[in-house]
């Protein structure tokens, strides 16, 4: 199988962990901080971190519109935690000037599970995984949840009645952090999505 190059948006958040997980899942990787670097990747990961900071820095570095354009052009993107917020068409409890890349027809509530002290872990069964009977250990840190999904959005996992992993076309989002657990099956799904887009 021809290799694919997947970038990790490297303005803030769990960049190193995602790069390692993607390499383990069989992708070539690179950090993306500039529009020229974005042009060199087949897919992109938007990591966890602080969504308002990621939004602000992407606009400062001239990345916001190029990322939106690549999404509109069909580039696969995976967002975890803050990255899920960035892929939502609508956010609740966002800052007044906060913008998202959009792409997934969903409404996401920021910090829905509570503050940093309310962080927790849970075992989830997630559709589409290799070895699907083995649950994913999901780490939620100031995590969002999904309050509404459109007709074209597939819910892959939910907890407390709220979707926490979704997919729409070439876009994948989780409210938890699979990059910190050593279980790279979520990243494997995304690498497969990028390969599928290349065919």
Q: Do the Cβ atoms of 145 and 164 come closer than 8 Å? A: yes
In the residue annotation, 64 being an active-site residue is answered as no
Considering the candidates 179, 184, 187, 188, report the single residue annotated as catalytic: 179
Measuring CA to CA, how many Å separate 95 from each of 55, 72, 101, 112, 149?
A: 11, 24, 15, 14, 21
Considering the candidates 81, 187, 188, 195, report the single residue annotated as catalytic: 81
Q: Is 106 left (phi over 0), alpha (psi -120 to 50) or beta?
A: beta
94-127 pLDDT, tens per residue? Answer: 677 789 999 999 999 987 766 655 578 889 999 8
Q: How many domains does the chain have?
A: 1
Give the DSSP H/E element, type plus range, for residue 24.
helix 15-24
Reply yes or no on whether the pLDDT at 1 is more than 70. Answer: no
Residue in this structure with the two tokens 């497969």, named with its chain if needed = 192
Q: What is the pTM of this model?
A: 0.94
Report d(CA 164, CA 157) in Å as an integer.
6
Reply yes or no on whether the pLDDT at 83 is more than 70. Answer: yes
Q: What is the CA angle 108-33-153, rounded to 5?
A: 25
Average pLDDT value over all residues in the chain: 92
Nearest to 23 by CA among 39, 38, 50, 45: 45
* Mean pLDDT confidence for 129-148: 89
Report d(CA 90, CA 46) in Å as an integer.
17
Residue 110: its pLDDT value, please? Answer: 82
Question: Is the CA virtual torsion 43, 16, 110, 99 positive or negative?
Answer: negative
Structural domain including 186 reads 5-198
The percentage of the chain sitting over the pLDDT mark of 90, rounded to a whole number, equals: 75
Which band of pLDDT confidence, cut at 50, 70 and 90, is reported for residue 49? confident
Considering the candidates 18, 58, 64, 177, report the single residue annotated as catalytic: 177
In the residue annotation, 95 being an active-site residue is answered as no
Residue 119: its pLDDT value, please? Answer: 74
In the residue annotation, 179 being an active-site residue is answered as yes
For residue 119, the domain's CATH number is 3.40.50.880
Reply yes or no on whether the pLDDT at 81 is more than 70. Answer: yes
């Amino acid at each position: 199988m021809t290799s694919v190059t997947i970038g990790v948006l490297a303005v803030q958040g769990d960049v190193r962990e995602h790069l390692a997980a993607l390499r383990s899942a069989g992708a070539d990787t690179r950090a993306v901080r500039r529009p020229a670097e974005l042009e060199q990747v087949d897919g992109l990961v938007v990591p966890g971190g602080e969504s308002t900071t990621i939004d602000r820095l992407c606009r400062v570095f001239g990345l916001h519109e190029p990322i939106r354009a690549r999404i509109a052009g069909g580039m696969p993107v995976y967002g975890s935690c803050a990255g899920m917020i960035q892929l939502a068409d609508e956010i609740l409890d966002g800052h007044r000037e906060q913008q998202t890349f959009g792409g997934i027809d969903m409404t996401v509530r920021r910090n829905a599970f509570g503050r940093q002290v309310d962080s927790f872990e849970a075992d989830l069964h997630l559709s589409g995984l290799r070895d699907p009977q083995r649950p994913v250990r999901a780490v939620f840190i100031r995590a969002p949840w999904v309050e509404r999904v459109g007709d074209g959005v597939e819910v892959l996992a939910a907890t407390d009645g709220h979707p926490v992993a979704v997919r729409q076309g070439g876009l994948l989002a989780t409210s938890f952090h699979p990059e910190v657990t050593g279980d790279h099956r979520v990243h494997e799904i995304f690498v497969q999505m990028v390969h599928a887009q290349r065919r």
